């Protein structure tokens, strides 16, 4: 069994996100539209056994991949599936901006935003 990758090790790092749900696409099961690019970090394993997910905040066009900095982690306290928050280097989104941009999905989960100290 593969050990999950700790999402905390990504805080402050530059990562490349591969989009499986680009901005404007519909969720295949629940039908909502993604208002941000959403993807995963290849070759990682999250607590849910899948690759570590990431919201990409900033770019306003659908993307296939994006390289940016991890500014925060959305830690779900009622689910074993943390989400990275990635933005262009130098564009550190506020907690309020993160909450607004990810509410379409995170509204269904209890969570806290973790940042570097």
pLDDT at 49: 81
3-state SS class at 100: helix
pTM: 0.92
Is 8's pLDDT higher than 90?
Answer: no
Of the candidates 59, 26, 38, the one whose C-alpha atom is nearest the C-alpha of residue 106 is 38
pLDDT at 7: 76
pLDDT confidence bin for 4, thresholds 50/70/90:
low
pLDDT confidence bin for 47, thresholds 50/70/90:
confident
Give CA separation, 45 vs 14, 95, 103, 108, in Å: 18, 25, 24, 22
As a whole number of angstroms, the distance between CA 49 and CA 41 comes to 13
Q: How far apart are the first and last CA of the chain?
A: 32
As a whole number of angstroms, the distance between CA 106 and CA 74 comes to 9
């Amino acid at each position: 069994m593969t050990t999950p990758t700790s999402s905390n090790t990504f805080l402050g790092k530059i990562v490349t996100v591969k989009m499986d749900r680009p901005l404007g696409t519909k969720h295949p099961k629940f039908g909502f539209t993604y208002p941000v690019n959403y993807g995963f970090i290849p070759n990682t394993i999250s607590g849910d056994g899948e690759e570590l997910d990431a919201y990409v905040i900033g770019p306003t066009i659908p993307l296939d991949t994006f390289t940016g900095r991890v500014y925060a982690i959305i830690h779900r306290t009622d689910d074993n599936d943390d989400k990275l928050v990635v933005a262009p280097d130098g564009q550190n989104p506020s907690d309020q901006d993160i909450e607004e941009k990810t509410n379409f999905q995170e509204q269904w989960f209890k969570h806290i935003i973790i940042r570097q100290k």
